């Protein structure tokens, strides 16, 4: 099973080691305002890719749960949503710091990309609250699965699709030049893609550890009863 295999975890660690070190050393386009902070592309952006990857995995298991009510799907859906949420929080925190030194503020109150990201995290916060509010296990699993299937397209809409049609300071919105401007620099891609792959893999690695811990916990609880 892929969860217990080592090779992909070490591959991801290799990608990350490369991105973390060469990301500071590689030549970058010299631009006003962004200056060296353009390197945040290798660190801030992969957080969101990792969040999307884990949320996608989560909604897949929610759909599977509704097709066949196997507890394992519920556990996987919840755990991957948790780890995805963690990466989303890190994405917001790093983005806020980047904004401070390029836009001059930690938070631009009316910016659709920023508020969309905050709304997305609140949507998933509500998912965890919903889970903790329902006592009955099967009821909780079914409700959570249905909620997750609504939550996933909603978070994609507010963080990715909606800001594309609105005015935002953030790159890849309607009025700002997308990252294509920097992407044209193939040197950035050389670090950016391995960084994304590395962080996504690390996210899934952490997920597998927490998931296996959850299984052990349930097993030991069942043995006690």
SS3 state at 201: helix
Least distance from another protein to the Cβ atom of residue 174, Å: 26
User: How remote is the C-alpha of 116 from its chain's centroid?
Assistant: 14
Confirm or reject binding of residue 209 to another protein (CB under 8 A): yes
Confirm or reject binding of residue 31 to another protein (CB under 8 A): yes
Alpha-carbon span 5 to 142, nearest angstrom: 31
**Stretch of 18-26, 124-132, 146-154, 166-174 lying at the interface with another protein (CB under 8 A):** 18-26
Q: Tell me which of 143, 162, 166, 206 binds another protein, using CB under 8 A.
A: 206
Least distance from another protein to the Cβ atom of residue 176, Å: 18
Angle at 50 between CA 47 and CA 51, to 5 degrees: 85
Structure tokens given for 193? 């893609």
Q: Tell me which of 8, 11, 21, 126 binds another protein, using CB under 8 A.
A: 21
**Cβ pair 88, 171 in contact under 8 A:** no
Residue placing its CB nearer to another protein in the complex, 144 or 191: 191
Least distance from another protein to the Cβ atom of residue 126, Å: 30
Alpha-carbon span 41 to 196, nearest angstrom: 10
Least distance from another protein to the Cβ atom of residue 202, Å: 8
Confirm or reject binding of residue 25 to another protein (CB under 8 A): yes
SS3 state at 93: helix
The residue with tokens 């009863």 is 225
Least distance from another protein to the Cβ atom of residue 23, Å: 9
Alpha-carbon span 216 to 19, nearest angstrom: 34
Residue placing its CB nearer to another protein in the complex, 2 or 136: 2
Residue placing its CB nearer to another protein in the complex, 193 or 205: 205
**Stretch of 21-29, 45-53, 76-84, 187-195 lying at the interface with another protein (CB under 8 A):** 21-29
Alpha-carbon span 170 to 172, nearest angstrom: 7
**Which among 83, 94, 74 has a CA at the least distance from the CA of 148?**
74
Residues 6+ apart with CB under 8 A from 93: none
Least distance from another protein to the Cβ atom of residue 18, Å: 10
Question: Which residues in this chain contact another protein in the complex, by CB under 8 A?
Answer: 4, 9, 13, 16-17, 20-21, 24-25, 28, 30-32, 35-36, 205-206, 209, 212-213, 216
């Amino acid at each position: 099973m892929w969860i217990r295999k080592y090779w992909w975890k070490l591959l991801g660690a290799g990608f990350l080691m490369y991105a973390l070190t060469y990301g500071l050393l590689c030549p970058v386009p010299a631009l006003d305002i962004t200056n060296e902070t353009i390197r945040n592309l290798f660190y801030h952006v992969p957080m969101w890719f990792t969040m999307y990857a884990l949320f996608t995995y989560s909604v897949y298991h929610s759909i599977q749960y509704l097709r066949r009510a196997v507890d394992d799907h519920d556990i996987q859906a919840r755990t991957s949503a948790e780890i995805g949420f963690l990466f989303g929080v890190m994405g917001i925190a790093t983005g806020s710091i980047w904004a401070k030194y390029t836009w001059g503020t930690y938070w631009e109150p009316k910016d659709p990309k920023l508020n969309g990201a905050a709304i997305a995290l609140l949507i998933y916060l509500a998912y965890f609250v919903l889970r903790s509010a329902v006592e009955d296990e099967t009821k909780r699993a079914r409700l959570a699965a249905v909620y997750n299937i609504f939550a996933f397209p909603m978070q994609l809409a507010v963080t990715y699709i909606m800001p594309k049609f609105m005015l935002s300071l953030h790159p890849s919105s309607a009025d700002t030049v997308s990252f294509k401007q920097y992407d044209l620099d193939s040197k950035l891609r050389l670090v950016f893609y391995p960084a994304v792959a590395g962080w996504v893999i690390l996210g899934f690695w952490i997920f597998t550890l927490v998931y296996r811990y959850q299984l052990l916990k349930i097993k030991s609880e069942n043995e006690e009863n």
